[in-house]
Amino acid sequence: MSTHERFQIKDLDDLRNKLEETGVDLPLSQDLSVLLKPWSIGSKTVPNRMAIHPMEGCDGEDDGSPSALVYRRYERFAKGGAGLLWVEATAVTQDGRANPRQLCINKQTLDQFKNLAVHIYKNSLPVTCAEVSNSPLKPYTVIQLTHSGRYSRPAGKPAPVIAARNPYLDVEGLEYHIITDDELEQLEDQFTDAAVLAKEAGFDAVDIKACHRYLNSELLSAFTREGNYGGSFENRTRFLLNIVDKIKAKLGDTIDIAVRLNAYDAIPYPYGWGVSREDHHIPDLTEPKKLIKILWEKGVKIVNVTCGNPYYNPHINRPYDIGFYKPMEHPLAGVKRILQTGKELQEAAPEMTVIGTGFSWLREFGAFAAAGAINDGWFSLAGFGRQSFAYPDFPRDIYKQGSMIRSKCCIACGKCSEIMRYGGKTGCVIKDSAVYLPLYNECRQGKPVLVSNHLAEHV
């Protein structure tokens, strides 16, 4: 196993040498033209193959409506030219918010979400697709619906709602409410009601968030839970699939359904999803593959693949240079694993639009990996998360200059995550420093340092 190290890659040849040295195989293509080709989702066209992941800013208004910073973020994304914009985690109930400033869609905030959708479309860069007769198209928009579950902090203090106890994630001294079957059934209806509002607001699709160990994700691994929502595969997927069915019953095909899906939790069985029962360091995608096939059969159009838990094992979720601990693997191994999960889920459901994840650590070479993976059929679109905070106009540079620019790229320093852990408003402290460096300094005053070089053997 190669040891962890910071990014030191100078050029593409250097990257290839490092891949060989670490024993990692990634598809790379210097021809980026595939990233500019359109993609069809049902009757809609995505202008290009580049997507912006749902990147939470923790900066909404008290009532859950978008603030000026939210409008600024999505204006930057829109002007950047990505073909698909995935609006960040938006709670379906006030008590399911991850922080007091998380977005929340309801009848009172609906008009502001309508305004946000219009703002995105008005500011979208008119990207000319390589295969669409020089005709500019608007981006495809998804809004992510969530209940934060064990990470709920609607008033700024932990108020965890969990599917089942978990010795790896439970915090000593916290009181946990195990959500009842009746409450889950009511919550299914609240997700459905929120989807109706999302359609009215003007988004192309609604995402039923099932990742990163928020409530829906946790239910997928609720092997130890009793009742209708735990134990068997059928029970553990019931909540997600019931929401899909209820949205379809109410809205038909008038709005697309997407799922941001954890494929691999990297938490020991019986507390983790998508893991080998013998060794949680090894993915076992049998159940995620089974689920994505069912999702397709039920009419879900998009699955955005991710892994891990940003609170517990963030190196699985986003390979980094600097973080809360030092992983026991090279970041390239993490990049390969998360891209590989996307590949395997795409193979399991060939007609599904699958969005791959894991490019930001590669800096400008992420574009080569994205193009190579899409050319080789690993997945349909390439999604960028931290990179979009730092460099929202990377699609425009690929389109106009034929490459990404190193000096504008995310450096995987983890400060955007630090701000979130400190309870602040999240963005790129390095590349968007005029706005976020003061916010970073303000929120960390008097608080302990979170970054560590401690070698984390527990994950």
Residue 457 in this model has a pLDDT that exceeds 70: no
Of the chain, the percentage scoring pLDDT greater than 70 comes to 97
Amino acid 452: pLDDT: 72
Mean pLDDT, residues 54-80 taken together: 98
Residue 93 in this model has a pLDDT that exceeds 90: yes
Residue 252 in this model has a pLDDT that exceeds 60: yes
Residue 409, classed as helix, strand or coil, is coil
Residue 212 in this model has a pLDDT that exceeds 60: yes
Distances (CA, A) of 169 to 23, 95, 107, 166: 32, 20, 34, 5
pLDDT in tens, 24-52: 999 999 999 999 999 999 999 999 999 99
The count of other CB atoms within 10 Å of the CB of residue 260 is 28
pLDDT in tens, 143-166: 999 999 999 999 999 999 999 999
Residue 207's pLDDT band, with cuts at 50, 70 and 90, is very high
Supply the mean pLDDT for the chain.
96
Residue 74's pLDDT band, with cuts at 50, 70 and 90, is very high
pLDDT in tens, 309-341: 999 999 999 999 999 899 999 999 999 999 999
Amino acid 450: pLDDT: 77
Residues β-bridged to residue 66: none
Mean pLDDT, residues 78-105 taken together: 98
Mean pLDDT, residues 102-118 taken together: 99
Residues β-bridged to residue 208: 145
Mean pLDDT, residues 127-137 taken together: 67
Question: CA 396 to CA 136: how far, in whole Å?
Answer: 13
Of the chain, the percentage scoring pLDDT greater than 90 comes to 92
Q: Note if the bond before 283 is cis, omega within 30 degrees.
A: no
Structural domains in the chain plus CATH codes? 12-406 (3.20.20.70)
Q: What is the dihedral of CA 331, 334, 338, 341, to 10 degrees?
A: 150
Residue 449's pLDDT band, with cuts at 50, 70 and 90, is confident
Residue 1 in this model has a pLDDT that exceeds 80: no
Q: What angle do CA 109, 113, 115 make, to 5 degrees?
A: 120
Q: Are 368 and 14 in contact (CB under 8 A)?
A: no
Q: Which of 436, 397, 438 is nearest to 416 (CA)?
A: 436
**Backbone angles phi and psi of 353, in degrees to 5:** -80, 110
Question: CA 170 to CA 154: how far, in whole Å?
Answer: 18
What global pTM score does this model have?
0.97
Kind plus residue range of the DSSP H or E element containing 18: helix 12-22
Half-sphere exposure of 251 (CA within 13 A, CB side): 25
